[in-house]
């Protein structure tokens, strides 16, 4: 029974990798994790089958260690996904002073689907809260035709958002830099205001896709932005599982690197 479960898991991972390639192309970030997972389950199925046939040829510590590591890995996976999904806010806090809109890939034809979903949510929020400044954050990658911030600005202007509501941050290359550089930009802008307004606490939000919001808020808190609000945009429903897994691994990586 266990062998067949592992075989089905391997097939499901390989099939989902094919779905990712069809939807997002071979360049989809971190898509190869599903190939590795498929290979892992296939090898595990072969190992279990071998142990069932020839138990005397394999020392007991091998299957015990394998089951223990798999169990720990599964627990970590479940915990990260609960944290990611459990922290998605139901509604966005209104009338924030600034909302940092995190950038994502820009293709030659324009913003990627992930970025468009963020921008559509940003446009919706800007219309409902006309006094809020959107900080569009994202530099230019080697395969991008412009900075992400510039592409975001052009898209929002086409949606009817006023130029005065947009503030560009064009130097960041990661989520950490998005937040740090945008925070610096906000602080510099606040210093230009009259002293009477400087005493008023600045209310800041972070807008990104739902799967990405928990990690973004943790990074913001680590950078000294206490009580930052989260605004969740939708994500691609077909790739949602991939995005959640990818961000869960990124969450562990940032924790180990001290970014959280």
**pLDDT value at position 218?**
92
Compute CA distances 216 → 7, 36, 96, 111, whole Å.
36, 27, 17, 20
**pLDDT value at position 199?**
62
Spans of all domains in the chain: 2-86, 98-257
Q: Flag residues of the chain having pLDDT under 70.
A: 194-199
Q: Could you give the residue ranges of the DSSP H alpha helices within the chain?
A: 2-24, 32-53, 61-86, 113-128, 148-158, 175-191, 195-198, 210-222, 240-257
**pLDDT value at position 233?**
94
**pLDDT value at position 196?**
47
**pLDDT value at position 260?**
77
**pLDDT value at position 102?**
96
Cα distance between residue 53 and residue 259, in whole Å = 47
CA 187 vs. chain centroid, Å, equals: 25
Backbone angles phi, psi at 88, to 5 degrees: -75, 120
Helix (H) or strand (E) holding 106: strand 106-107
Contact 97, 132 (CB under 8 A): yes
- For the entire predicted model, the pTM comes to 0.87
**pLDDT value at position 195?**
54
Which DSSP string do the residues of 162-218 spell out, in sequence order? -GGGEEEE----SHHHHHHHHHHHHHHHHHTS-HHHHTSPPPEEEEEEHHHHHHHHH
pLDDT digit string (tens) for 26-78? 777 888 999 999 999 999 999 888 888 888 787 878 778 888 988 898 999 99
CATH C-level class of 98-257? alpha beta
Helix (H) or strand (E) holding 98: strand 98-102
């Amino acid at each position: 029974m266990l062998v067949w479960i592992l075989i089905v898991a391997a097939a499901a991972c390989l099939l989902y990798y094919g779905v990712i390639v069809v939807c997002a192309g071979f360049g989809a970030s971190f898509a190869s994790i599903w190939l590795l997972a498929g290979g892992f389950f296939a090898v595990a199925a072969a190992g279990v089958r071998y142990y069932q046939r020839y138990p005397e040829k394999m020392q007991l510590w091998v299957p015990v260690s394998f089951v223990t590591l798999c169990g720990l890995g599964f627990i970590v996976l479940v915990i990260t996904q609960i944290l990611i999904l459990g922290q998605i806010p139901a509604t966005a806090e209104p009338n924030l002073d600034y909302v940092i809109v995190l950038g994502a890939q820009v293709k030659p034809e324009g913003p990627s689907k992930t970025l468009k979903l963020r921008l559509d949510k940003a446009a919706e929020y800007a219309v409902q809260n006309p006094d809020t400044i959107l900080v569009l954050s994202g530099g230019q990658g080697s395969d991008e035709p412009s900075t992400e911030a510039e592409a975001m600005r052009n898209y929002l202007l086409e949606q009817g958002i006023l130029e005065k509501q947009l503030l560009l941050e064009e130097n960041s290359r990661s989520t950490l830099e998005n937040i740090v550089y945008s925070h610096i930009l906000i602080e510099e802008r606040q210093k230009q205001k009259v002293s009477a307004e400087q005493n008023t606490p600045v209310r800041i939000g972070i807008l990104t896709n739902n799967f990405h919001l928990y990690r973004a808020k943790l990074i913001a808190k680590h950078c000294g932005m206490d009580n930052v609000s989260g605004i969740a945009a939708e994500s691609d429903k077909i790739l949602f599982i991939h995005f959640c897994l990818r961000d869960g691994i990124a969450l562990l990586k940032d924790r180990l690197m001290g970014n959280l």
